[in-house]
Amino acid sequence: MIGYVTLGTNDLEAATAFYDALLGEIGASRFMENERMVAWGTEPGQPMLAVIIPFDEQQATVGNGTMVALNLGSQEAVQKLHAKAMELGAQDEGAPGPRGDGSFYGGYFRDKDGNKLVAFCM
């Protein structure tokens, strides 16, 4: 159902470097880019994640309650991606571990623009 998600940035170069390294860990690569936006995906027709300079030319801000969830398929992959995010300078928002009834396993972090993401598996 989701085609793509965009995250606002005030520094496209830094955001692109962060996501090139982070999403490369899960096999994603750049699918689209222009002077305002870069998008990554794993294969054509699958959901993409993009960073973008806002169209209205105002400061990019973090959406309260907004979060991007990256489904990774295993606890080991969640741990590895969360660790990579920390290595890249992300802010820890919750170390990898079980949540709720234990069927959800996730690690939360914020990128350098403050956007919240979770790497998870079920």
Per-residue pLDDT tens for 61-92? Answer: 988 889 999 999 999 999 999 999 999 999 99
Task: Provide the domain limits for residue 93.
Answer: 4-54+67-121
Alpha-carbon dihedral of residues 46, 21, 110, 89, nearest 10 degrees? 180
- pLDDT tens digits for range 23-62: 999 999 999 999 999 999 999 889 999 999 998 989 999 8
Within-domain flag for 59? no
Both tokens of residue 34?
A: 């222009």
**Tokens (6 digits) for 24:** 């490369």
pLDDT at 64: 80
CATH number of the domain enclosing 110 = 3.10.180.10
The predicted model scores a pTM of 0.87
Reported confidence tier of residue 1, pLDDT bands at 50, 70, 90: low
Q: What burial class does residue 57 get, using C-beta atoms within 10 Å of its C-beta: 0-12 exposed, 13-18 middle, 19+ buried?
A: exposed
Confirm whether 19 is domain-assigned. Answer: yes
CA distance 117 to 122: 16
Which of the four pLDDT bands, split at 50, 70 and 90, describes residue 2? confident
Domain count for the chain, please give it: 1
Contact between 5 and 107 (Cβ < 8 Å): no
